[in-house]
Structure 1
Amino acid sequence: MQAIRRLFAGYVDYHRHGPLMLRYLSLAGLFFFPAYYLLRFTKADPGFDDWLLRIVDTAICAGLFLRDRWPERLRRYYYAYSYLVVIITLPYTFVFQSLKNGGGTVAVGNTLMATFIVLLLADWRNMIVMLATGFGAAVLTYIAFDPSPSMPVDYAVRWPILLGTVVGGSLFKFALERATAEKVRSAYASLAASIAHEMRNPLTQLKHSLEGVQQVLPPPGAFHHSMSSIGHAELDVLYRHVAHGELAIRRGLQAISMTLDEVHAKPPDSASFQFLSAAEVVHKAVDEFSLGSDEAHERVRVHVHDDFHFRGDETAFLYVLFNLMKNALYYATRFPDTRVDITVGEHEVKVRDTGPGIAPDVLQGLFEPFSSFGKAGGTGLGLAYCKRVMKAFGGSIHCESQLGSFTEFTMHFPPISEAEREVHRRQILEGAYAVLAGKRLLLVEDDAAQRVTTRHKLRPLGLVIDDAADGQRALEMLARHAYDLVLLDLHMPVLDGYQVVQRVRQGQVPANRYVRILAHTSEPPHVARVKTQRAGMDAFVSKPCAQLQLAMALQRALQRPVPRAASRPLEGRHLLLADDSAYNRRAVAAYLRDAGAEVTEVDHGVAVLERLEGETFDAVLMDLNMPGLDGLETTRAIRGSSAGWSRLPIVALTAHSDAPAIDAARAAGMDGFLVKPVDAPVLYDTLLGLLSLPRAAGEVTPALPPASPPEGEGPLLNESRLDSYRRLGLLDELLADYLPEIGRLLGVLDAAVEASELDRASEALHSLLGMSGEAGALALYTRVRAVYVPVLEQRRWPDDAAWLAELRALAGRTGDALRAYAAQSDPAGIAHRG
């Protein structure tokens, strides 16, 4: 019996990854058995009338074809049934017919055909068993029921040919399977090497971040004393290292997702596409790519000739840019003069490097999957993914190169008309208005000009807006009135934004303890994400922020469910968590308990069924791959039960996100699907939706700073932003308030530099950064940012001694450009202001 089980297991394994072979067999049998029976009447002497045998063959093929309609309890016998179908319809039927018809050339051909089909349908061991069983049963039946059985001579003498067919076909099939297995092994090895190569940089960055954290933390013996007196600067360093580590992890997960998506030919989901600024996404990609790498920062330059918008997915396009920059710098150690220039303009983004170039014969297949040139450990999936993404965006990508000179990738995007952009803008504003109209918002900002700007942006949304100039005033207003939203600047005098949030969440203003709070900050997005989430804020938007980005951020924040007591949205829920890995359970269970749920943990499917029999649960979260009874089998058992818990919500937990895994989970009866590692917001959102509670919005995508090319490599002004100000009627206030304030801040910088007051200079640069970005002063914003980042993160003055003089000169040219722009709109009354 053990030998039979092993033999049958080999047959099942042979068809587990190729079930279509059995389906095609059943379909052919349904057609050919009746059809060839009708052909027999075209002969003068039809011979043996095998109508009953053909009816049986057709009927059992129909049963095989209709497998999806089998009762659930019978599907476990499908492979055993198919085993009998193969034996009966092929070796048995054709040999029996041949014997009854007295042999002949047709009989020999039919037997060889049946043998060849069995050869394709089973591994060599089961093929021998199937042929021997079918042939033997046919001969015995013929002898038992034929009145004068005899073996046709011409049929018998051709059995050595049949034996040769079996042996030769088996050897050929064995060689083919070995070659296929070698190709699969090679592909797996290349895929593993590719993922390892993609993960090396993120893991190195994560290691660097952890080492930075260790350097800031006090020694274990002095832990309690030192942690109580840790300074503001040290705390900022810790947060930056944590943010860099989190960013590295996101990059690694993106690399894995990209690789798996390309292996499964999975295009980006067009339902998630948004209108994106090409320059903004390019600058974000360069900022994140060069983070922690001085070499990458020095070698990559961005040139924005004119910004444009396209419809696509930001994460997918970011990875396209990451891949192109990584490829461009791959040979930087061998070619130390390599430079990468990224140019934005005329609905194209070009990535050009001065590396070794690519040969013309290689260019032809450069974007094909598993095509790689001159790189060890790569699968060539990166450029194939780039092509798939650009095609999904409605655009294209091509490459030009010259050996020893350059390589240039050009991504072309379909133009978006002004009418389309206006329709999109109206849709966003109307959707936000439907949610936000009549709601009360507190705007907390110490900069009067930015308060005016933000009010103008929010005017179409129907909000009732109060404002406060500092954190103390904000707390006083929060104590007097109930608010729906707070838009909070983080860097303010008296009390900063973090102190305000801490007091609000601690309950010092009870009526607003759980008010939705959005941070409004100039900090780098990856740092702001970590700090605002840890502080208890609902989201953040970067300064400066376009009107549509701000509207969407406020809308998403308001649509988040009001937290229950102690911000525990799953309070009172009893959840059953099944996973054979204790480490995986620990992380998911921690998320669930932090949200207030009671969690019962088990490590296999049988335990799930046992717990359901004795306890009451609100939902089940289950790993798909567990020993014994796996997640799919357990789900089928739950759904097939007549107990009250048979309709419990079931969420799949798995590391596989491909379509077959999702389809299998859905077919088994699962209600949700979460990919490991599970993010807490996605976990809560899925469960709240299945438990019929108000659904939480997905994680807010932070709004980005404006596109900002280096000085001299693009226009002084961001005219698209200024156009929006003109449409909002804000251009007067811009010139009347911003230009004098920029001059004042430069004066503060002068005094801070003269007195060597780094903190005071940092505060002035922070204000100047937000001011220039909001004013559409593109080149000034870039120059201020280049100065501000090292001052903030590295606590040092810029290396260039002339930086302040350059800022003053650039501010002067920017003021002239702003006045000239305004004069085009209102030459009579605006150009002289400021």
Structure 2
Amino acid sequence: MLYQKLLDFFWQKALNILEHAEPNIPIMGLFGLVGFPLFYFIWSYTFPQEFENFHFRMLIAIVSIPWVFYHYLPSWSKSFFPIYFILSCWIMIPFFFSFMLLKNEWSLVWTMSNMAGLFLLILLINDWLVISLLTTSAYLFASFLVFLLDGNIGYTNFQYEYIPIFLFGIVGSIIFSHKKNIANQTRILLLHSLSGSIAHEMRNPLNSIINAIESLQSIIPDKPGKQEKDKYQQYKLSRSGLISLHNVIEESSEIVIKANKIIDSILAGMQGKSLSTNSFKRITAKSCIHSTINSFSYNTLEEHKLVKDLSKKDFNFFGDKDLLVYVLFNLIKNALHYKKKPGFTIEISTETSSNGNTIKVRDTGPGIPASKKEKIFDEFYTSGKKNGIGLGLSFCKRVLTSFGGQITCNSKENEWTEFILHFPLYHSKEAEYLKKEVLHNKNILIVDNNSNNRRITDKYFSEWHCNTRQVQNGTQALSMLLQQHFDLILINLELPTVSGDEVAKQIRRKKHNPQFPATNYKEIPIIGFSNHSESKRKQRLLGSEMNELIPKPPRRKHIHLLFEKYFFSETEPLIHNPDIFLDNADILIVDDNHTSRKFISFVLERMGARVMQAENGEEALEHLEKNDYELIFMDMEMPVLNGINTTRIIREGKRFKRFGKYREIPIIALTGNTDDANITLAKQSGMNDHLGKPFGKEDLARVLSTWLQPQ
């Protein structure tokens, strides 16, 4: 126990020393690499000394090479560097100078050199205890080595006046360095405490907002479901208004949850913890950039115009969208501080390559001096701005590191600054390591009566560090679900006694079982597997309340695809219930109202359709010429080209060279006016049916059942 405490004590000291010396390590390494061999010639030929040894100096110079390339060392080696730094310091400074001092019998040159070396050691290492241990042990070992080589230790040129001079210089330097370090540590601890308090204080009102939203949601009626129109006639709020109110509440809750996530991440940084990877998914760079530019809180419209999206190539990365958006927020906010500079702009661009991908944020502000570029990512370091506490860029660095990447800065003083966000490839080893971290917290239930299949499937999941449980039949599966939460259930359809389909239905209904854990089993992915052909699997999937069916027995590639779809994808998994199923039908929505398009798209995609959107008739005609669709939802009133005229142009077919189904494709009118005149006008233009706004899922199902003959 005592040994472990001492080990932890000295390891922490090594980390603190390295942190203090880090900005100067490369330049000191270069000084050593050049200086040790260079001074051999000075002390051998220019000012000859009694003892010199070129090979000894070259050996010491080699020790300094990792210092020179410190910022380019692989990440795994940096975990050992604190120990190497202490040992190499001991060799390069106190041992080398003590050995040369004794070999030259305390000559004036080497007495002064030894003093200079000790001052250098004190500058690098800010701990008096470590300095004392290093200098004492180095002098004793150097004395032993000289005695071993020469048979005696000479003090020919030693003078007693050196003792008070050495003591005054060393003790004075240590006291000054120690006081400066204590003051710096006090400042850092104060800022840590202050930042933590601020973050905690922010969390409390946000949680209060969540509680208020939940209270409001419990008071107002539930969202209207199927066949519930009459129930809501007693309320003055319209059905569409009620849906909108719920949507606003849900979006507000989501915003607060995102804010709490950022606060949790900042608090983790304050406490020295790593950022959580639990929310990491497959994210596209352009979606983050688009979200950042459009949701940033600009003070004026002119500020918004200063930020330009130049991203052309998109790429996927494994990480957290909210955290990256926060990083981009921070970079934009910092850059806008210099918006008054003539010709100021902020440009965000992307680059892709086989080695990795990048997002670049470049501004034409005053730039950053070369001497400060390495420091700007340090905690509590600020430059060029008042009232900042220096947490933003250090947090950005933590976020990119948690993604397996890094953030770097290029700048030309008085001209521009460019921050480069480096991301590993989505299928790289770095991303795979992060995925395994996420999957380490996932619980998988395997239901199969074949023990060999269970063992092999378990092996595939275990390769990715998942926690698995195995059962033989549906009864055991339901019993297991009473004991713990599962994130994915894999079930054989051909189970004895009770089929896998029936087990899945019972699992979905367990939401209302009071004995069940607090888990919504309506949403957990349930994957079936069987020997059936693909077409038969699709037929059996309908009404099974499973998410999908895969071939039996599951293979390694199937397991990997499940991970990507259900754990690493931003889209919600589709649960195939007895409702309508569109089987990848291609549908075009033409409506100038963004909210209306969003609602219809969400419902149709949940039914299994592929949806494309257009804001007006002209865009719709372009889409039809490029792609094939099986049905069109067409708003009647739109700018540029309204629904009535668009439908007439489609039915004529003169605008199309490729699209040939202009007479047959069903076109459904979307209109807020459902009087006889408007319905007649829609049909005369060539529309097949109509939906009156607002409409619900059941209205969509009626139209789809009539015109698509869905399964």
> What's the TM-score once normalised by structure 2's chain length?
0.41
Which one has the bigger helix percentage?
A: 1
